[in-house]
Amino acid sequence: MTHFCFLSRYHKRVLYIDIDVHHGDGVEEAFYTTDRVMTCSFHKYGEYFPGTGALGDIGCSKGKKYAVNFPLKDGIDDVAYQSIFKPVCPLFSLSMLILCEIERKFANE
């Protein structure tokens, strides 16, 4: 998080995309009131930790509409995922893109 905050000081428009299964609540909260950083989180939602990142959580003040959440249910396939993921980048005129993903382990591996 510290490196990200440092980078955001030197880039006017940063897009942070989090494709981890958990909501990126810490980064979203850090930039919830600014229009310089757009946070976009694709995450499992419902009865799942941390339980944040509803579709209506969109930022506030100058940051309103700069927090984008895609709460997902179990069973999403690649075609459906691509249909919501691909349109994100063109929405925001950016000078830096940060993509965060965490290695996943599956029960059948």
Domain map of the chain by residue range? 8-100
Contacts of 51 (CB under 8 A, 6+ apart): 23
Tens digits of residue pLDDT in 24-81 = 788 888 889 988 888 888 888 877 777 788 999 999 999 999 999 988 888 888 888 8
- For residue 56, the one-letter residue type is G
Q: How much is the pLDDT for 108? A: 44
CA atoms within 13 A on the CB side of 22: 9
ω into 87 cis (within 30 of 0): no
The H or E element containing residue 39 is: strand 37-44
- Record the pTM: 0.74
Integer Cα distance of 92 and 25 in angstroms: 20
